[in-house]
Each structure stands twice: as C-alpha cells, then as structure tokens.
A and B are shown apart, each in its own frame.
Chain A
C-alpha cells in the first residue's frame, strides 16, 4: 500500500523534483547560474526547439509522427531570406509566406497519411528529403545574404528588414533592462495555446481519443481524418514559426543552420512523456522537457563541461525519462486519469 503510493508519487513528481534539484545544484555550484540573465539565456536557447517540439507533440497525440519539422523550419529560414533579400518583399509578407508554406506542407503530410495511407514515418521522411532538396534549388545550394551574387550576375539588393530582425533580436525589459528575447515570449505563448487546445478543448480531447483507439473514435462519429490533418498542419505551422525566428536571429539565410532541430525537439517531446506521469505526449511536459535539456546544458557549460559532451548528456536524459515513463508506469499496472 505505502509502496504503491510511493511509486505513484515517484511517477508523478519524480521528474519535476529532479529538475528542481538540478536547478538548486547548479545555483550553488556554478557561479552566476541563478541570475535573470542566465535564465533568459536558457529560455532563449530552448525557445525555437521548444516551439517545434510543441508541434510534434500534436502529431504524437494522434499517434502520428512528423519527421519533417526540422526541414520545414530550415525551409522557412531560406524562404524568408529569399523573399526579403532577393525578391525584396516586406517583413510581413515574408512571415505570412512562411506560415502558409508550413500549413501547406502539413496539409500535404496529412493528406499523404490519411488519404493515400502512407505510414506517417515514411510520408514525413519523404517530405523531409524533399524540402531539404527544394530549399537549395533556388540559390544553387548557397546561403542567402545581402550583396550575394545572383545567377544573372547582379548583386542581391534586398535586406532583412529591421521589423523582421526585431522578431529574433529584440529583448523586452523585465526587472532587468533588455532581458526577455521575443522568441522566448513566442515560445511561452505557443506553449500556453497548445496546452489549452490539447487539455481543455473538446478538439484536443478527441485528438487524444484518436491516438488511443482510432477505430473507436471514428465509430462515435469523430471525423478522424480531419483531426489528423489538423495535427500535421499545426506541426507544420509551428515548425515554420521556429524557422522564422531562427532566420531573424541569424539575419541571413544560412543553409547549414538548424541541423539539430529535429532531434532536439523530438527529444523534448519524448522527455515530456515522463512529466507528471502522463505517459503520453502532452504540451506541459514538452515545454518542461525542452527546459530540462536547456538547463542541464547551460549548467554543465557554466561548470566548464566541454561542448562535445552535449549530445551524450541529451541522450542520457532521454533514456532516463523513458525509463521513468515506461518502466515505472508499467509497474503500476493499468491505471490512468482522464
């Protein structure tokens, strides 16, 4: 009886307690860790991954998976640069174009999966390769920056507008002057919106039902296809938001950036399974998962751990989280709230 309560407690709060202990430990042992600047830095470092992870969470909820998010983000990065630098469009147009691109990619992913019955991993893997290739074609594989040479010999005249760069570089004042970067605010807003959508609305509840037993959900009259397509469209749009913010931070269409986006954001979403013992994809968990990785890496960096250990640490956290989720909740046997 007491063992059981202990186990339940460990499953529910274990991960949050671990996070809390980690913060305390780094605050005591790494000088300057417990400061607003360092907190803002951590948030900044996880904001873009976090936004992508929230999108992939929606596809995990309907028991799908979106491998194309990383390439959607880099496509948005290149597209925004192309629109502003080469086509000399305004910031607003460029942003809208990117969001539209994300939505269309999501729609195509969704249609491939529900209409053409391509398994989700294959459909989105194909989309990933397609986009990685596509984004290189207009510039013959080059990065985009003001003054670059165009195929016709002239130089690119356009530039990233100040309004666009604001998205990636502006910092709001909070206690300290110029503390919170715009991407962090957008990350937090996205997290709240996705959380409300998944946890509190009937649409979110139906998406969870689809993920748990698709056939049963369809037989009570749920339009399963529409919800699945919606999940991939959300994922596409959030990925393009991530790409826009990345472009605004870099200030150039860098062909090589964003390599780690896919794996990092999937890791955050999977770590999220362990938070509060949810044992399934959830927005709160995903946000915490992203933060967890960010805090750990920042803390280790401040304690002078070499940069090349980073991926190893991420992997270790992921495995730990998965053990938390699946081993412990399997021990607790069939249960579950909601």
Chain B
C-alpha cells in the first residue's frame, strides 16, 4: 500500500537545520497535500526525494525497497517525478516546446542517435493535446508566458508515467482555467494509482484535491489530517502554530485622488476604463486571464502605450515611456513571476532589496554598504522574512521568502502609486495576512493598486474591488458586505446584460 515511506529524515545547510526528522508516507492512488509556512522545509524535502540534495540522516523506501537517489535522472528512473517550485528548473528556455515535452524520450536509453524532428513533433503534439496545451509546439519556450512554461513542465512530468508524482506549488502562476485542467489530470493519475505529493498555499487547491493533509512546521511534522471531511482550519493552525486571526479591515474611502485613469483603452476596441485611485486607498483589480489586468498594470508602469485615453497623477499629465520614467514619477511596481521579472540571482538579500534605490544608498555614486544592510535588516524584521542574515544569497531562501524580499523592495521608500501584481505568489496564508496588514498600515500618502486573481486575496486587503472583464470594468465594489454572487458573475462575465460602469 505504502508506495513511498520516509523515516527520520534530516537535512541541514551548514548550521541551519532545515529538516529535523520527517516521518511520512505516500500511498498509491492518494493525493497528500503538504502544508507549511514559508521556509518550513517543504521544497527541501522535495529536493531530497528527487535526488537533488543528499540527506544527513533517515531512510527512504519505495515499494518496500530502500531508495537512495543519486541524482534527478536516477530518481526519475525509479518512477519519482517532480515539478519544482522554481519553474525554470523544469524547462529549457532555448529549446522549442516539442523538444521540451519530449526530453525524456531523448534521454531514454535506446533512444536513437539522430533526432527525427517530424516524429518528435507528432509525439509532442499528442502530449500537448492531452494537457490541453494550445500553443504551436515549435515555439521557443523562452517566448512563452510563465504559466505556459509551468504547464509544459507539468505535461512532461505526467508523460514519464510516474509512480510518485511531486508537485511543488504548481498553480502559483496558473490561471483558474489552467489550474482546473491540472486538477482533472491529477484526478486521472490518482485513478491510475499514482502516489501524489502536492504542495500549495492556496486553500482552494487544497480543498479541491486533498485526500490527506500533512502539516510541517520548522522542519518537523506538526499535524496529520485524514478523516473526512478534512479539518482545514485545524491544518492551518497546525502549520502556523497558532490559529489564524480574522482579517478585519477598516475600509477607507481615501483622500484626494492621486492616480486618475481617464477613458483608457486597454486593447484595441475595448470600452474605455476610467477610475481614480485616492490617497491612502487600496484598490484590488481582479479578473480572469485576458481581462486586461496585466495590460492596465503595464500601461500605468510605462511598459505599454494605451490605445486611447490618458492618465494623471495629482492632476498632472502622466505618460511614462518606460519603467525608468515611471519610477522617477514615483510609480513603483512589484511584478508577478519573480524569477523572470524581479530576482537578481547573483545578489544577496540586501542588494536585491535595495536595487531600485541604489542612488539613495550611495554618496557620490559610492555605495554605503552599511545603510543598505540596515534598511534590509529593518525590512526583513517587518515582513518576517525567514533567513540567516541579510547577506544570504537570494537563492538560498525559500520561494515564499524570496517573494517577501521582492515586495519589501518597493516598500523601502514612499511613493505616489504602488502597483502590486500578484504579490502573494508563493506566500503562506499567515504571512499573507501580515504583509497585507503592513501594506494597509503604510498606505497613507500613496494610492495602492493590487492585481490579484484570487477573490480571497482581494477581499483581505482592499478598500475597493474593481472587476475587469474583456478589457473593461465589469463592476466595482466597496469592500463592505460585498455581494459575492454579483462579484463572481462579473468576474466570469455572466452577469447578464453587461453593466456599463464608468465611475
């Protein structure tokens, strides 16, 4: 029954004891969800299982036989297949989709020496169709969105016919419909008797997919839930070490308008968008993939030109041509998909955080290392970033903690307009509340726009929620007793007659 069993597993990095004796098992045809706060050691456990890291103590068994993978290829040959949290570990950006999907065929012993492109492409097309991937398989992966790359990594993992499938935060960059496709595939594999380990911070994923929940805290197992119905609140308490505080936001109407969006056309032919964001106000902008959320953010930050309309900041015309001009005008933006858009992998925490403001941290262009470090330490404390010190390489942080560094970067200095695009990607539920509270506390003096797909996140942080659909505003709600049905209908565009809101 037990496909994979782990007993007393320990792993340290230097003096940092990350796994302190993990006991758990995975069974055939069961989805185990592993929950834990950022930095609890989930990804480390995954990396030991898939042969990327060695371990210091403990044993692993696969179908009752001792299992000690030497490297990733070896783990795969044992049937242990992993989709990593950091997406770029899973795909080769310079190759096309077909080759990426078929990499396993190319590395299999007995694969021919010559690559037959036609056959490869046809086989890849089959895998792609299976996953509902619609892109041309000849596209270079580097040209795809992060969500597409993630789907490719998942598709390839599924194509290996795994015995144990490990998914480390697979949905963090997927849209709702892509996530649904993933869930139905997971269901299918579960039906085929695959043992699945699934890691996620999204409660909606966990509710949809979990057969059993294992909680981890500070490198130890802190709870296990298998009685149905599963006790989700108990699981959250076990992973955080305390129960979650209810969010209670005192909704503000805001002061003077700061950012005014005036009849902006997000894409050709879409109805104009107008609204104004006020001083101290936090607006959540939500909508499905393709609703115009990203376009709006990129236009405000100067990466795209609007098709029509204009913007004003504090009454003055604002038409940035690039990111540098936007930042100079006091418009800051934290991007989604941090590893492509935000993280400087060669730098430590302090330098990653202070990167946009190096001018402030230097005298006559010479950097003042001490004040850089002080500012970083301060932010590490305020956001609860789990690390050893501010000169840790950013790559040694857990995914969620890297994300906190990227948000902290833009909170170092006051600004007029703060744009946060999916700021909670990979951040655990507890930390999400803390960061949300911090953003709310510091909201005075600026207008804050938070772009999120999850309605939960919008409701937790915003004073006002604006719903976009097909490039235009489908509805607006003050965050007081929101009519959830109307909100959901507006998001999916099924609210009957399209309301023409021009507020």
Contacts and interface: CB of A to CB of B under 8 A. Distances in A.
Interface in A205-264: 205-206, 208-209, 211-213, 215-223
A205 B358 contact: yes
B356 A221 contact: yes
B323 A220 contact: yes
A202 B372 CA distance: 11
Given A202-B358, A220-B355, A335 B324 contact: no
A200 B365 CA distance: 8
A258 B326 CA distance: 47
A178 interface: no
A221 B323 contact: yes
Contact of A4 (B14, B326, B327, B395): B14
A338 interface: yes
Given A202-B361, A334-B395, A337-B393, A217 B366 contact: no
A208 B429 CA distance: 34
Contact of A201 (B323, B326, B365, B391): B365
B302 to A, nearest CB: 9
Contacts of A217: 344, 355
Contacts of B351: 205, 209, 338
Interface string B317-350: 0000001101110000101000011111111100
B342 A216 contact: yes
Interface string B33-46: 00000000000000
Contact of A212 (B53, B345, B361): B345
Given A221-B328, A334-B393, A216 B346 contact: no
Interface in A29-55: none
B489 interface: no
A212 B347 CA distance: 8
B139 interface: no
B75 to A, nearest CB: 17
Interface residues of B, number: 35
B326 A221 contact: yes
B359 A209 contact: no
B348 A337 contact: yes
Interface size class of A (residues with CB under 8 A): 20 to 34
Nearest to A8: B14
A115 B359 CA distance: 26
B362 interface: yes
B396 A219 contact: no
B367 interface: yes
A219 B247 CA distance: 32
A215 B393 contact: no
Classify the secondary structure of B's interface with A: mixed
Contacts of B365: 201-203
A146 to B, nearest CB: 45
B420 to A, nearest CB: 13
B341 A215 contact: yes
A1 interface: yes
Interface string A85-113: 00000000000000000000000000000
A201 B335 contact: no
B254 to A, nearest CB: 26
A219 B366 contact: no
Nearest to A280: B346
Contacts of B358: 202, 205-206
B396 A218 contact: no
A11 to B, nearest CB: 14
Contact of A209 (B53, B335, B344, B367): B344
Interface in A279-338: 280, 333-338
Contacts of A201: 362, 365-367
B123 to A, nearest CB: 32
Contact of B347 (A209, A215, A219): A209
A220 B356 contact: yes
B367 A215 contact: no
Nearest to B328: A221
Given A221-B327, A334-B396, A338-B351, A200 B344 contact: no
A337 B391 contact: yes
Nearest to A202: B358
B323 A336 contact: no
Interface in B223-277: none
Contacts of A202: 358-359, 361-362, 365-367
Nearest to A213: B344
B153 to A, nearest CB: 19
A216 B405 CA distance: 14
Nearest to B326: A221
A335 B391 contact: no
A334 B14 CA distance: 13
Contacts of A212: 344-347
Which of A196, A216, A217 counts the most chain B CB atoms within 10 A? A216
B139 to A, nearest CB: 19
Contacts of A336: 346-348, 393, 395
Interface in A166-224: 196, 200-203, 205-206, 208-209, 211-213, 215-223
Given A202-B367, A336-B348, A218 B323 contact: yes
A219 B335 contact: yes
B294 to A, nearest CB: 13
A338 to B, nearest CB: 6
A337 to B, nearest CB: 6
Interface in B400-422: 409
B403 to A, nearest CB: 13
A336 B345 CA distance: 9
Contact of B324 (A1, A205, A223): A223
A213 B346 CA distance: 9
A211 B345 CA distance: 10
19 contacts: A1-B12, A1-B14, A196-B366, A201-B366, A202-B362, A203-B365, A205-B351, A212-B344, A213-B343, A218-B323, A219-B342, A220-B355, A221-B323, A221-B324, A223-B324, A334-B393, A334-B395, A336-B393, A338-B391
Given A218-B323, A336-B348, A338-B391, 20 more contacts: A1-B14, A201-B362, A201-B366, A202-B358, A205-B351, A205-B358, A211-B346, A212-B347, A216-B344, A217-B355, A219-B341, A220-B327, A220-B355, A221-B324, A221-B326, A221-B328, A221-B356, A223-B324, A335-B395, A335-B396
Query: Which 3 residue pairs spanning A and B have beta carbons closest together?
Result: A221-B327, A334-B395, A336-B393
